Amino acid sequence: MHANHNQTTALLGWSLQAIEAIDKMSRPYVVVGPPEFQSFADKNEILFIPWQFNVSIEQSFELYEKLRELNVKVAVPIYEETVEWAGMMNSLLFENPKLYYKSLLLRDKGLMKRRAHLAGLRVGVFEEAYNKEDIVRFFKRMNQALVRLENDQLDPIHVKPFDKAGTVGHRMIREEKDIEEIEDEEFPLLMESHLEGQEFSCEAFIHDGKVRFLNITEYVKLGHSNFVPASPALEKWRPQIREEIEKLVVAFEVTHGIIHPEFFVTPDGKIYFGEVANRIPGGHIFEHIERAYGFSAYQGQVLCCDPDTSEQELSAFFPKEVISAKGHSGNLMVYPRVRSITRLDIPKELKNHPYFVKHNMFIPASSKVAERVGFGNHYGSINFFGEDAHEMRRLLEEFEQHNFYL
């Protein structure tokens, strides 16, 4: 154990996978999470501070005092809702107020797009909307700019909240009547032009301002299915993608931790920036990285968040990108298409396929399906692992059409 790792690492947010990963690292840690996990933490001898992240950030000094008593050195954010708390804790722990303001930049989709635009990344056209008239005006102006005439198919636009994770509150506007469905309390919203192309995300592990490991996750259907590493067709753009990531790192002055940006690549290789998060990605991506590469991405995040991690530790920890992957790891998140569930239908050809690893679909206690928020509540997922990216993509596309819940 290295002498400089005897200070405590704070994990902000409750994630069993992150806790299990840091537990194997022989460094002291504390978990800051919702009070309802206290008894579990006590029973399993996990050092725990109960905390509600939905209170005002003005109360951060109280949390800082608790962390200081435990000799905390660095705070690691696990979820979207803990990003600015980690920013605030680290700005107090490192006595650098800029860290907090940087975390706010990574929480506001309008601000982050401006910052990326200033740094020379390609972004779509975007504006903030404070009411429905703003959206009508933006929608009309976009289609005027594209010279769409009366009988032409109009170009869609997207609207989404500034600070929600993933696809929560995301709507696609194809015609003016879609704007009517938006409730007044959803404002303000970010509006943006529609980007064509293959969507993907990156998970960049950054230490001392340098990209130490870059994973590219191929999205088959946003919010439903993805796999790691990406197919050769997408990986061929890796040098250009890495360049965009390096621009982002400089633009957002990211020195330590992970970033999870989303991009679009057009068939001719133009890369457009979508958004960036400063936390663990959704869609089981960290599990894919572990299955494909054999290292814990949660541990990688902890190592990268700690400024004292040595060059030797980093190079021993991260494998070679793409070539050292043992295969492609993919998953399909399953959403019921019925109002209430009576049974599960799992086809034989799924179970007999050599790429099938496991599934965790279940018949819920209440048969009524919960209302969906974004792509939040999937009812289990199916994991695949195999050699061939084409076959992986085909499987994910094919089973996305299947009704597992009847």
- To the nearest whole percent, how much of the chain has pLDDT over 90? 79
pLDDT per residue over 259-288, tens digit each? Answer: 999 999 988 889 999 999 999 998 899 999
**Is a pLDDT exceeding 90 seen at residue 239?**
yes
**6-15, 110-119, 373-382 — which is least confidently predicted?**
373-382
233 or 169, which is more confident: 233
- 316 burial (CB, 10 Å; 0-12 / 13-18 / 19+) is exposed
**Is a pLDDT exceeding 70 seen at residue 337?**
yes
Full-model pTM: 0.92
Give residue 2's pLDDT.
47
**Is a pLDDT exceeding 60 seen at residue 335?**
yes
Topology (CATH) of 198-400 = D-amino Acid Aminotransferase; Chain A, domain 1 (3.30.470)
**62-76, 240-254, 353-367, 368-382 — which is least confidently predicted?**
368-382
Nearest one of 86, 81, 139 to 107, comparing CA atoms = 81
**Is a pLDDT exceeding 60 seen at residue 373?**
no
339 or 159, which is more confident: 159
CA angle 125, 131, 135 (to 5 degrees): 35
Give residue 386's pLDDT.
98
The token pair that represents 327 in the structure block? 């295969």
Give residue 370's pLDDT.
67
Domain 3-105 listed as CATH 3.20.20.80: no
The token pair that represents 135 in the structure block? 């959206």
Confidence of residue 166 (pLDDT cuts 50, 70, 90): low
**C-alpha pair distances (Å), 36 with each of 21, 286, 364:** 21, 25, 22
Residue 228 identity (one-letter amino acid):
V
Q: Is the peptide bond before 188 cis (omega within 30 degrees of 0)?
A: yes
pLDDT per residue over 85-129, tens digit each? Answer: 999 999 999 999 999 999 988 888 899 999 999 999 999 999 999
